[in-house]
Amino acid sequence: MKDSTLSKLGGICSILLGVSYLVIGINYLLLPAEQKAGGALEKLLPSFAQNPTPLTIQYWVFALGALLALAVVLAVSENVRSVNEGWVRWTSNLATLGFAVVAIDNFRTLAFQSGRATAYLAGDAATKAAIEVSGPFSLDPQGWLGFGAVGLWVLVVSLLALRAGTWPKLLAYVGIAVAVAYWFVAAGFVLNLETLIAVAAGLGGVILAPIWYIWIGLRLQRAGS
């Protein structure tokens, strides 16, 4: 008999991940301009020291959501694996790596950002210059893994599900749009275009990603029943 525990776990995690994207998208749009992606450290750190709550929420939700996503990748990939095992395995490994990097980056930032901001405010010109040139804490500063690789996985599973008729067509089309939104974020980091990231956060984070992950989660829950 087929084990349904992966579908059930993946379904719960996918629903929660969809909610987390909604929180991330709304919170990002409400962040102070100095704290948004692509902002210079000399503006970000003083702003964070003065008002750390919005970014701290962002870091926590990103970190915990990425951990949930690891189960989602397993469950969704298993759901479409028979259509093209090679592509599913490769891109699911990339997505797992991407989400793992997102979790590590955000937990590291939670541990060190407050002290870094305090040191920046209290430091002399040399200290501030040293912190500024140290750059971001991220292992993936341009989002190639956390957004680009994850977007590739979403695109592949959506196209395979569309080709095989595994999912409703609308769900697959939403998945394709989610993949594009992920790539918009990565492009925004690479090109240092905060507007592009904001568009992706608004359209992808607030609308498309929550719909896709929650819908996927509900289907996985039914499959595991």
Among 39-43, 74-78, 107-111, 141-145, the least confident range: 39-43
Residue type, 28: Y
pLDDT value of residue 224: 67
pLDDT value of residue 192: 82
pLDDT at 126 over 90: no
SS3 71: helix
28 near 185, Cβ under 8 Å?
A: no
Among 35-39, 68-72, 198-202, 215-219, the least confident range: 35-39
Rounded-to-integer distance, Cα 78 and Cα 221, Å: 14
Measuring CA to CA, which residue among 169, 185, 199, 218 is closest to residue 10? 218
> What would the mean pLDDT of 163-187 be, rounded to a whole number?
95
Per the model's pLDDT, the better-predicted residue between 156 and 116 turns out to be 156
pLDDT at 200 over 90: no
User: CB 84: neighbour CB atoms within 10 A?
Assistant: 17
Rounded-to-integer distance, Cα 77 and Cα 89, Å: 8
Rounded to the nearest 10 degrees, what angle do helices 5-30 and 53-80 cross at? 150
pLDDT value of residue 103: 97
149 near 69, Cβ under 8 Å?
A: no
| Mean pLDDT computed over every residue of the chain | 91
Percent of the chain whose pLDDT exceeds 70: 96
Tell me the per-residue pLDDT of 56-75, one tens digit each, with 9 for 90 and over: 999 999 999 999 999 999 99
> What would the mean pLDDT of 202-225 be, rounded to a whole number?
90
pLDDT at 13 over 50: yes
Q: Which two tokens stand for residue 40?
A: 């210079």
pLDDT value of residue 106: 94
User: CB 156: neighbour CB atoms within 10 A?
Assistant: 23
19 near 207, Cβ under 8 Å?
A: no
Backbone angles phi, psi at 136, to 5 degrees: -75, 160
pLDDT value of residue 3: 62
Q: Which two tokens stand for residue 12?
A: 């719960």
User: CB 100: neighbour CB atoms within 10 A?
Assistant: 17
pLDDT value of residue 1: 41
Backbone dihedral region for residue 124 (phi beyond 0: left; psi -120 to 50: alpha; all else: beta) = beta
pLDDT at 93 over 60: yes
Tell me the per-residue pLDDT of 214-223, one tens digit each, with 9 for 90 and over: 999 999 998 8
Measuring CA to CA, which residue among 146, 2, 179 is closest to residue 82? 2
> What would the mean pLDDT of 2-29 be, rounded to a whole number?
90
Domain ranges of the chain: 5-223
